[in-house]
Structures are given as structure tokens and as C-alpha cells.
Structure 1
Amino acid sequence: MLNQILETAAFIRTKTAQFEPEAGIILGTGLGDFADNIEVHCAIDYKEIPHFPVSTVEGHKGRLIFGTVSGRKVVAMQGRFHYYEGYTMQQVTFPVRVLKQLGIKYLFVSNASGGINTTFRTGDLMVITDHINLMPNPLVGPNIAELGPRFPDMHNCYDKALRAKATAIAEREGIKLQYGVYVGGTGPTFETQAEYLYFKAIGGDAAGMSTVPEVIVARHMSLPVFGVSVITNCGLSDEVGDHEDVQRQGKKAGVKMAKLFMEMLKEL
């Protein structure tokens, strides 16, 4: 895998004129419009990139965007990969490995999720404080020492300093934030009521089908991570899960998320 990471990073550098991003941003379902805030240097479709998977989910455009936001050089993944698409966990997390090789110092992740905490409302932004992993771990298998340790510590996997910065910015800009634990499951089914009750019982505040594998791999490589979930439905209500509505709610709340990310990037 290390050779593939190096080959992919080398290919991307030939397309970006050695553009070196400071931060990587993963845009979840319905949140791809954040890319409109990027002063674009170049964009590359995933299908052009060697060893890269291809997005198969509606709402994930499937391209890497290199450019500047708030004076910071960034690379944004406009669309991510999921275990439920049939990819291995190593394929799902491969792009994060490549972004680190390209030089990022921080990783920002976002997702659309179902609210478990009964105080949450549709459209809320939840800063992820921790996660519960109910998926296969992406580090299972031989460890590549050049990438990270065999047994990486997951304390503070969502960086406390970045969370504190987000809180200060939100107070200044009038952005309401929730805080909580994200439960990552395989999907692709939306959760049953019994599953939501189980997630609540084990300490979850929101649930989704992504993010956790990417964060595990980022922390394996000692990348500081900041994560936000957009609450697109309330799982313990009688609402029926619908992917199109998830996309709509994500786009609406994405405006607030974009403001938060832009201000955070400015203050890194």
C-alpha cells in the first residue's frame, strides 16, 4: 500500500504544480457546496487518479479540489468513499493517506447524520467530541511503520484545541453548536428504532455511515482532526429515512458549516 500511496501522491503533484495544501477537508453528503468558497487552483476527478476509488453515491461529485480558503491552501474531497459501497476499509481510507503524503497538517471532516440526542433538531451542527466504531477497523492487517504505530492511541482523536477554537468562533459569529459522540455503522440501511435506542444507551448522540475510518487513519498518522455532523433527521422520531431529504438538509445546514470552517482555517 505504501508504494501505491507514493505513486498516487506523485501523480497528483504533476497535476497541481507542486501545490502543497495545509489542510484537508472531507465533504459529506449534501455538503459539497463548500467547494464554492474555494479559490480553485485546480480540480482532479477521482477517476483520473491512480489507485483512487470512485464515488458511487448521489450527492458526492467525486473530485479533489485544490485551492485557497481564508488565505489557507487546502485540498477538499468533494465526495468520500464508504464501506457499504463495497470498498475495503483500506480503500475507504486511502485518500486520507494520500492527503497526508501531500503535506496536510490538519484534517477537517464533515458528515450528515441522524440525531440520537433528543435535544438535537434537524439542521443542527454537532461538533464531534468522540466516536464509537461499529465498523471493521481500517488498521486491521499488517502495520506499515512508515505511516504510524501498530497500536495508535485514540485519546483526543477529535482535537481539543480545534474544538475550543470552534466554540470561540461560534460564539463570536452567532452559530449554534451542539456537541456529542458520533456512532459509525456500516449502512447502507438507515437505523431501526431499536438500533437508535441501543446507540443512545451506549453513549451516542448522532449516527452515520462514514467518518470514523478516516479519523482512525488520520490519528494513526498523528494528524489533528476536527469533525462536524450535520443533523439531517431525528432518529428517535417517527421520521422516515430518505437520502434525498438528507441531501436537502445537508445543503441548508452547509452554509453554517462553511462559515465555521472558513473562520477556523483563517485562525489556524
Structure 2
Amino acid sequence: MDSSPDDLIATLRRKTGPVPFDLAVVLGSGLGAFADHLADPVSFPYGDFPCFPPSAVAGHAGRLVAGTYEGWRVLAFQGRHHLYEGYDARQVTVNVRIAHALGVPRLLLTNACGAVNRTYRAGDFMYIADHLNLLGDNPLRGEAVDPFIDLSHLYRQDLFVPLHDHAQREGISLHRGVLAALPGPSYETPAEIRALALLGADAVSMSTVPEAILGKYLGLEVVGLSFLSNAAAGLGTASLNHQEVLAAGRQGTERFLALLCQLIRLWRQAGNSSASPGGSLPVS
């Protein structure tokens, strides 16, 4: 695999123009419909560019869509790569490197995940306050230039309160919590979920955290939004499987789009903010 994204970047600039993009959105399992709402879309299949690792994960369209949304130039990555496919954290974050190379200052990460917090329900959403990196890897491993970055304020937090107010008005359950990342591909055991709860995790995923770390390293504002597709192992009666995660994502598409679109509007209204700590806001 040729890890250089230069060919894709040159092609994208040729087809979409030299103006920098305002936002990159990574769309998780079953959540790719947002890209269909971009105006003047131009699509770039991952398979056409060797910088993207091969992938065959269901629920990930595997393409980059460039377009506009309410005046912002947006890159939408329909699908991502995962460590459980045999890749390392640097390989699965090529999307973030592409966004940075195209001048994107903002990164919105989404995923479908399992609820660890017993007060969360399948179909709810979680604004990511912080994370636990339990992947055993880091996208900055081997990075030669100042890899020792401070992650105390990784995720931008000032958008949560107005987004939560909007969600309440729309009847959408939105929490703010801690995301744990495990490598997969097997789902966690009930004992592992109990351990995660003791560590302070509210939800668990097999993605997102490497992208967030690299985004912070490259100087992007990072916001994370999770769709709780199921209760984690031991917290529900149903067996866990990927098809049910995808089905839950499809069922929650309308609410996800409503929340995602409002989040982008709030981000545009708020503008840049150097004050992104969320320590004073309660995790719920």
C-alpha cells in the first residue's frame, strides 16, 4: 500500500478547486447518509487511491464525498478503517492526514458504539467528553516531530450545551460521556464491560480514538458524536452482532442527521474557540 495521499489530494483539488475545506466528517457504521445531503457532491471511491487500505467492512461505503453544506465546504468520509482489519493506528488515520493536507481546520468524528453506562439506551446519542485509549496503539507511534502532545482538552466541549438544548426540544436523548476504544473485532465480554464501567467509560467503540489523537496533533478542532446502537455485553438480553448495529444505525438515521446538522450549524455560529476544556460540564 502506498500511504502517500498526494494523488488523491491533487485529484480532489483539480475537481473541486483550490479553496480550503471548512470541515471533515468521518461517518461511522450505518451513518453514511449525511454525505447524501451535501450540495454539488463529487465522489472519490477509496479503492481508486492506494493511500486508503483495502476494506470490506459492511456498513461503510468506502468513498470520500466533497461538497458544501450551508455555506461550508465539507469533506465526508463514508466509512473508515479499523485496527481489527489488520492495520495499525497510523494506517487507519489516513483520512485525518488527507483532511489536514487540504487545509481543513475542523474534524467531526462519528461512530456507532455500545452503551456501557446503564442509564443510556439503544438509540440515544453521546457527545464525546473524553476517551480511554485501550487499543494498544497510537497514531503518533514512530512520529519524529514532537509526538508528546497534551490531550487534556482534546474534544471541543462548548457546543454541547446548545446541542443538548436542541436535542431536548426535538425529543432526542443526548448524553455527554467517555468513549473507550478497544481493538475488536470480537465484542467485549461482560467482565470487560464491567471493567470499563469501573474505569469510567460510558460507551465502547472499535474506532474514533486514533483519528481524534491525530486530529489534535495536527491542530484540528475535534468534536465527537456517538450513536448508541446497542447495550454492551451483559447489559441486555440480545446477542451482539454487526448486522444489528447497522440496522440500528439505519433506524436512527433521521435523528442522527437532525443532530449532526444542528451541530454543524452551532459550530459555524460559534466560530473558532481556543477554550475547549469541558471539565466544568457534567458528564451525563
DSSP-derived class of the 2:158 partner: helix
Structure-1 residue corresponding to 2:263? 264
DSSP-derived class of the 2:236 partner: coil
Q: Kindly report which structure 2 residues correspond to 1:29-108, keeping only aligned pairs within 5 A, or say none.
A: 29-108=29-108
Take 1:40 and 1:8, find their aligned partners in 2: how far apart are those partners?
19
Aligned length: 262
The structure where helix makes up a greater share of residues is: 1
Whether the 8 Å contact between 1:41 and 1:68 is mirrored in structure 2 is yes
Further displaced range: 168-177 or 85-94: 168-177
DSSP-derived class of the 2:77 partner: strand
Take 1:122 and 1:193, find their aligned partners in 2: how far apart are those partners?
17
Structure-1 residue corresponding to 2:274? none
2:183 aligned with 1:153, yes or no? Answer: no
Further displaced range: 43-52 or 10-19: 10-19
CA shift, 1:48, in A, is 1.4
Whether the 8 Å contact between 2:65 and 2:78 is mirrored in structure 1 is yes
Structure-2 residue corresponding to 1:211? 208
DSSP-derived class of the 1:161 partner: coil
Whether the 8 Å contact between 2:7 and 2:49 is mirrored in structure 1 is no
Q: Deviations over 1:174-215 (max 9, x none)?
A: 432111100000000011101110110100010010000000
Q: Deviations over 1:2-45 (max 9, x none)?
A: x9244542233223333532000000001011222212331100
CA shift, 1:152, in A, is 1.0
Whether the 8 Å contact between 1:29 and 1:247 is mirrored in structure 2 is yes
Structure-2 residue corresponding to 1:138? 139
Q: For the aligned residues, what is the CA RMSD?
A: 1.7
Q: Deviations over 1:205-226 (max 9, x none)?
A: 1001000000000011121111
Q: Structure 2 vs 1, CA of residues 220 and 264 (structure 1 numbering), >3 Å: closer, same or farther?
A: same
Q: Kindly report which structure 2 residues correspond to 1:108-123, keeping only aligned pairs within 5 A, or say none.
A: 108-123=108-123
Structure-2 residue corresponding to 1:9? 9
Structure-1 residue corresponding to 2:175? 178
DSSP-derived class of the 1:160 partner: coil
**AA aligned opposite 1:259:** A
TM-score, reference length from structure 1? 0.92
**AA aligned opposite 2:214:** V
Q: Structure 2 vs 1, CA of residues 12 and 156 (structure 1 numbering), >3 Å: closer, same or farther?
A: same
**AA aligned opposite 1:92:** V
Take 2:250 and 2:110, find their aligned partners in 1: how far apart are those partners?
12
Whether the 8 Å contact between 1:55 and 1:61 is mirrored in structure 2 is no
Structure-1 residue corresponding to 2:278? none
Whether the 8 Å contact between 2:133 and 2:180 is mirrored in structure 1 is yes
Q: Residue 189 of structure 2 is aligned with which of 165, 189, 192? A: 192
Unmatched segments (≥5 aa) in structure 1 = none
Structure-2 residue corresponding to 1:255? 254
Take 1:99 and 1:31, find their aligned partners in 2: how far apart are those partners?
19
Take 1:152 and 1:234, find their aligned partners in 2: how far apart are those partners?
33
Q: Structure 2 vs 1, CA of residues 18 and 48 (structure 1 numbering), >3 Å: closer, same or farther?
A: farther
Whether the 8 Å contact between 1:12 and 1:49 is mirrored in structure 2 is no
Unmatched segments (≥5 aa) in structure 2 = 269-284
TM-score, reference length from structure 2? 0.87
Whether the 8 Å contact between 1:71 and 1:266 is mirrored in structure 2 is no
